[in-house]
């Protein structure tokens, strides 16, 4: 079987997005493609294991449309590091490549009417392993944490580049919401 390339993956996603408008359906159709790409290491470069010490993770951009729609990243998570509860404000598909990352899902229990305030309740948690994939809808809220002892690496595909969605990060204990911007390696 011929290797599945990032270019073919992006082309396949564009065809799905052109034919489908429902975010959940888009995610479910991309999910097996993300698993296929994540399982094929022919495109993987050693630099994708690099982590920004300040953030605790490294975002490595594989593809982005000029208008910021559709972005594909490899994210490397340092052991014991992650990202607090956050949303994406776009659909997302994540597939494990190496190591493990623990995901905790939340639901918002306030009405969102008070700026800077958010009351979240934990609903589910699971560990993403190589070969597994999950989908997120725009308003889904989750945290991600590398609960292993080695760098965890995953493939992340978004309907829009994360720094162009107006997404939020949440402090569950303090019940706060603020803008979420991350540093990307290009």
Structure confidence by residue, pLDDT tens digits, 76-106: 999 999 999 999 999 999 999 999 999 999 9
Cβ atoms < 10 Å from Cβ of 50:
15
Q: Residue 1: is its pLDDT beyond 90?
A: no
Regarding predicted confidence, which is higher, 171 or 1?
A: 171
Query: b/e map of 130-161 (b: 16 or more CB within 10 Å)?
Result: bebbbbbeeebbbbbbbbbeebbbbbbbbbbb
Domain ranges of the chain: 6-185
Tell whether the model's pLDDT for residue 163 goes beyond 90: no
For residue 100, how many other CB atoms are within 10 A of its CB? 20
Q: What is the pLDDT of residue 182?
A: 76
Q: How confident is the model at residue 185 (pLDDT cuts 50, 70, 90)?
A: low
| Model pLDDT, residue 62 | 96
Q: What is the mean pLDDT of the chain?
A: 94
Instruction: Give pLDDT, residue 181.
Output: 80
Q: Residue 183's pLDDT is what?
A: 74
User: What pLDDT is attached to residue 8?
Assistant: 97
Using the predicted structure, report yes or no on whether residue 50 has a pLDDT greater than 80.
yes
- At 184 the pLDDT is 75
pTM of the model: 0.93
Is 131 in a helix, a strand, or coil? coil
Its CATH class, for the domain covering 6-185, is mainly beta
């Amino acid at each position: 079987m011929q290797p599945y390339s990032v270019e073919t993956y992006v082309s396949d996603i564009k065809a799905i997005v052109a034919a489908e408008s429902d975010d959940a359906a888009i995610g479910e159709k991309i999910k097996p493609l993300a698993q296929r790409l994540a399982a094929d290491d022919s495109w993987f470069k050693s630099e994708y294991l690099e982590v920004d010490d300040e953030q605790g993770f490294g975002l490595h951009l594989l593809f982005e449309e000029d208008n910021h729609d559709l972005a594909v990243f490899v994210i490397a998570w340092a052991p014991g590091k992650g990202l607090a509860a956050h949303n994406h404000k776009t659909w997302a598909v994540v597939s494990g490549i190496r190591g493990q990352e623990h995901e905790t899902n939340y639901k918002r229990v306030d009405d969102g009417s008070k700026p800077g305030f958010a009351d979240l309740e934990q609903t589910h948690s699971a560990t993403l392993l190589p070969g597994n994939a999950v989908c997120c809808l725009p308003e889904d809220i989750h945290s991600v944490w590398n609960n292993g002892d080695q760098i965890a690496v995953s493939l992340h595909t978004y309907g829009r580049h994360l720094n162009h969605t107006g997404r939020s990060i949440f402090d569950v204990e303090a019940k706060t919401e603020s803008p979420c911007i991350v540093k990307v390696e290009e």
